[in-house]
Amino acid sequence: MFALIFKAAIYVLLAFAGSALLIILKHRLRHRCLWKIPGPSNPSFVWGHWYHMFNPYAYPFHEGLYKTYGKVARVYGFLGDIQLVVSDPTACNNILIKDQVIFEETEAFLVSNREAFGPGLFSTLGSPHRKQRKLINPVFSISHMRYMIPIFHGVTRQLRQVFESAVADGPQEVNITGWMGKLALELIGEAGLGYSFGTLEGQNDQFCKALKEWVPTSSSLMVHRNLFPYVCKIFRPKVLKFLGKLTPWRKLNHFIELTEIMNANTRRIYEMKKKLLESGDEETVKQVEDGKDIISLLMKANVTASEGDRLSEEELLAQMTILVLAATDTTSSALSRILHILSLHPEAQEKLRNELKGACEANEELPYDQLVSLPYLDAVCRETLRLYAPVPGVMRTARSDVILPLSTPIHDNDGHEIHEIFVPNDTNVYVQIYNLNRDPSIWGYDAAEWKPERWLAPLPESVVEAKIQGVYANTMTFIGGARSCIGFKFSQLEMKVVLSQIIPAFRFMPSKAEIIWRFGGVSSPSVKGSVESFHPNLPIIILLQIHPE
């Protein structure tokens, strides 16, 4: 009897392995046309280049691909899967904008985000995604941004007070990215959820910790996340979560725990708001009626929207978590990078300070129109976001066969010049935002240098000719098209408010530590040689501007 069961199990396993092999073989044969695209050899039959592409020290690999193979390279994924890495401007425009319905978010991204947060902007496609964007877009309009400014100034004032007491007795070395993380979380908390996390008053509850740790933990699981859709085909998500908690894999256990904490707390805030609203609580009713914070606005818009346009409770909850996550690490990374670069360029820091001091003479907290009209402040933001895109790249999957045109022809492995690439259905394509934004054929010989002045003169013809269709500053930092960053104006304003308050008040100087910016879903700083930790670290010396040097 036992032998019979054993035999049957072996047959079932063999049948599984056989059909998996057949599927892989069919896939590889369909992708054989990509073999002729130049690229590095496969370092591992199982993992391909995944570890090379997605580890925290992957920047040199991506730069190397660009230097060696140019704007398109062929790399390997899981079990020999052939993928493309692209930074050609025309190809990127096609992938992210013109053919965005063909090049969709990967299954790994969609499935893992759906299981983690529910049906929000990160996990929907097509008409559900369009419906959500339609309702959420007005919240990020310029007219609404004007309402946000007092919230941004108020939160930044708290940070200024923290810095003032820290450096009252002289210069101090602080982990600037730690503070930018707390600031960014409080900014989206108050402006997004109408909720104070109290991070700048020293609070660090479970929810704050989970929000701070989620992106770094998720980045460290980036390679394994690619396996998620395959595993989901075998186990139901609930079973998977149960198994995930049981396995002795601490990083995965921690990731599941962080996700649960975040979802439970978002629901708590939502329920609290809903209950107060239902009970007629004056302050909450006013908050929702005024629609100052994003969720209040969405709740209000949901009431007046037609049946078909309305978001379900599940969708609203998913947006809440996603907005907080999408806003925190990106903004913190961008602000940290600006302060880091300004500490290394004291003359630029002084120039910015002079511009801001001039503008702040009459009004310490600049109103919207004045803030957005400061040319050097704008140039510093644009140049930093061009050269150091906080999100270094995005992955897409072709959902049908498609032709990808190139702005610069490449030579295939047989030496033939090709102007377009046939991309078969189911090919993963990685758009290298980082390399595209610093392409010397677009930005000139000094493309890799930080020069805010380039934005104070008309841009070179080559930038105009490249026709990059990103939503921001001829770059793909916030990408473009229907999946472009919904919060890009919000983040611009946050950055400008923060800089307008802290640059005139403090001076920023580099510490002795050597800083490495780590690759990930969002780039983050760490100190070279320090014990490896998820937590970003950027020591910078701060002194009061009036303090005698």
Interface contacts to ligand HEM, rule CB under 6 A:
121-122, 133, 188, 322-323, 326-327, 330-331, 334, 390-391, 394, 477-479, 483, 485-487, 490-491
Nearer to ligand HEM, 270 or 478 (CB): 478
The least distance separating ligand HEM from the CB of residue 497, rounded to whole angstroms, comes to 13
Closest CA to 431 of 47, 73, 16: 73
SS3 per-residue string spanning 101-146: CCEEECHHHHHHHHHHHCCCCCCCCHHHHHHHHHHHHHHHCHHHHH
- Residue 141 CA to chain centroid, in angstroms? 20
Nearer to ligand HEM, 207 or 478 (CB): 478
Nearer to ligand HEM, 48 or 393 (CB): 393
**356 close to 377: Cβ distance less than 8 angstroms:** yes
Nearer to ligand HEM, 200 or 394 (CB): 394
Closest CA to 184 of 280, 323, 319, 377: 323
The least distance separating ligand HEM from the CB of residue 188, rounded to whole angstroms, comes to 6
Nearer to ligand HEM, 472 or 507 (CB): 472
Nearer to ligand HEM, 212 or 507 (CB): 212
What are the binding residues for heme? 485
How far, CA to CA in Å, does 356 sit from each of 62, 352, 386, 412, 490? Answer: 37, 6, 22, 52, 20
Q: How many CA atoms lie within 13 A of 391 on its CB side?
A: 20
The least distance separating ligand HEM from the CB of residue 396, rounded to whole angstroms, comes to 8
The least distance separating ligand HEM from the CB of residue 30, rounded to whole angstroms, comes to 25
Q: How many CB atoms lie within 10 A of CB 110?
A: 18
Closest CA to 265 of 161, 153, 189, 158: 189
The least distance separating ligand HEM from the CB of residue 294, rounded to whole angstroms, comes to 7
CA–CA gap between residue 159 and residue 182 (Å, rounded): 9
Strands 539-544 and 103-105: unpaired
Nearer to ligand HEM, 122 or 376 (CB): 122
Dihedral sign of CA atoms 300, 372, 322, 163 in order: negative
Nearer to ligand HEM, 37 or 296 (CB): 296
**234 close to 225: Cβ distance less than 8 angstroms:** no
What are the binding residues? 485
Q: What angle do CA 470, 75, 244 make, to 5 degrees?
A: 90
Maximum separation of any 2 CA atoms in the chain, in Å: 90
The least distance separating ligand HEM from the CB of residue 184, rounded to whole angstroms, comes to 8
How far, CA to CA in Å, does 370 sit from each of 131, 355, 489, 496? Answer: 34, 12, 15, 11
Based on its alpha-carbon atoms, the radius of gyration of the chain, rounded to whole angstroms, reads 25
**Which residue's C-beta sits nearest to ligand HEM?**
487
Structure tokens at 123: 């996990």
The least distance separating ligand HEM from the CB of residue 225, rounded to whole angstroms, comes to 13
Nearer to ligand HEM, 118 or 390 (CB): 390
The least distance separating ligand HEM from the CB of residue 109, rounded to whole angstroms, comes to 7
- Which residues, 6+ apart, have CB-to-CB distance to 442 below 8 Å? 89, 436, 462, 463, 466, 468
The least distance separating ligand HEM from the CB of residue 525, rounded to whole angstroms, comes to 15
